[in-house]
Amino acid sequence: MTSNPPELRPDLANARVAQEAARPGQPTIGMVSLGCPKALVDSERILTRLRAEGYGISPDYSGADAVIVNTCGFLDSAKAESLEAIGEAIQENGKVIVTGCLGAEPEYITGAHPKVLAVTGPHQYEQVLDAVHGAVPPDPNPFIDLLPATGVSLTPRHFSYLKISEGCNHKCKFCIIPDMRGKLASRPAHAILREAEKLVDNGVRELLVISQDTSAYGLDRKYDMNPWKEGEVRSHIKDLSRELGQLGNAKDLWVRLHYVYPYPHVRDLIPLMADPDNALLPYMDIPFQHSHPDVLKRMARPAHTAKTLTEIAAWREICPDITLRSTFIVGYPGETEAEFQHLLDWMDEAQLDRVGCFKYENVDGARSNALSDHVAEEIKQDRWDRFMEKAQAISEAKLEAKVGQVMDVIVDDIDDDGIATCRTKADAPEIDGNLFIDEGTEGLSVGDIVTVEVDEAGEYDLWGALRP
């Protein structure tokens, strides 16, 4: 296999469209949401607007009057998956509207599927709605449909993604996200906090903070002040994290940060994570991508000269329980065996808790395509295998050390056999591991936060028993 398998790609998020009972004559729209959690939030906003206008939401093609396909354009393999989904929707339904990152290349889509009704780019909500209105006119019932919408969620009720900004100011050579989603555009702090407060009031127990560059939040706004409660809050990731962490009791609410670049000011977040009264979890998802400074320079990564091992040591000194996850690219153009070995040695020293890795792929429009010395596919595969062997060994040892510990977990699912699938504070949904409870789960409900004692560990998952 030369492309990255879906479960190993960092650009995927599971969407779950619930079945609704449609009233007679109600127009219905289906949604296929591909790509990352940021795209998932876009899908939720589109569906929420449509639901407020009187449209029903269908979980499949056959029950819908039209289908929206929210696409991903992160990698060539993701583009191929998006085109396949569009083709399937056309075949099964016929009326298809395309949006999302791949929508930034309309000719690419219409060249493959000329029958699509409309193509819009990412976060172009009004254009999507206009296209839906043209394909399936709204027919609202004023006594039923035009009530205030609480929002359509494509994730389980107990957790929700919270997008704090759009776009990115970096120009990493392997990435075309800034070309598709534009420069950094941060939301006002009070708007984010209001949305978060509403989610918590509606029963969300875990807020997953997402963006293209979480550390840079507010830079474009010059860290302006915003009215909040009886005072003001600054549009800065430290201030925002502090306020998010105070929206609920730390025993009942989790706040998790994703895509945090390791800028120097990130160290100001660590004391909040160590504070037992703040709901900000001791967890950071940091896209290191590589360790060797020359590779990072060829990638045009921000902070490529940063001494990341020194930063990691400083974070752990302040907050020993912090969980660090990251993603890496192997086989980047020009990567030598010595540079790859540097990465393996760095992994030995960094001892990251959760790690994902994918093999470099060319992406149309990426500047890295023009670099010299592209790595052969068989070498990429060999390096990926060796990297994952190293990462797995580190994960296994870290999880084994948790046996006997008592910790809080959040319940994600309970199957027909009574086995509860849970996550610890060290595990984000979809991308990290699980903790399983296979006895005494009769009184549990999805979304509960309960205390367990870990009694068994595997390569990526844990097993535990409920504690009173």
Q: How far is CA 294 from CA 178, 287, 411, in A?
A: 23, 17, 43
On whether 357 is known to bind a ligand per the annotation, the reply is: no
Residue 21 C-beta-side C-alpha neighbours within 13 Å:
1
Q: Which residue has the tokens 């790509």?
A: 35
Q: 3-state class of 124 per DSSP?
A: coil
On whether 319 is known to bind a ligand per the annotation, the reply is: no
CA 423 to CA 354: how far, in whole Å? 13
On whether 422 is known to bind a ligand per the annotation, the reply is: no
162 bridge partner residues: 209
On whether 101 is known to bind a ligand per the annotation, the reply is: yes
On whether 72 is known to bind a ligand per the annotation, the reply is: yes
How does DSSP classify residue 307? Answer: -
CA 189 to CA 191: how far, in whole Å? 5
β-pair type (280-285, 323-330)? parallel
CA 429 to CA 325: how far, in whole Å? 13
Q: 3-state class of 446 per DSSP?
A: coil
Tokens of 148: 């205030």
Burial class (CB in 10 A: 0-12, 13-18, 19+), 130: middle
CA 399 to CA 38: how far, in whole Å? 29
166 bridge partner residues: 185
On whether 36 is known to bind a ligand per the annotation, the reply is: yes
CA 341 to CA 350: how far, in whole Å? 14
Binding-site annotation: residue ranges for [4Fe-4S] cluster: 36, 72, 101, 168, 172, 175
Binding-site annotation: residue ranges: 36, 72, 101, 168, 172, 175
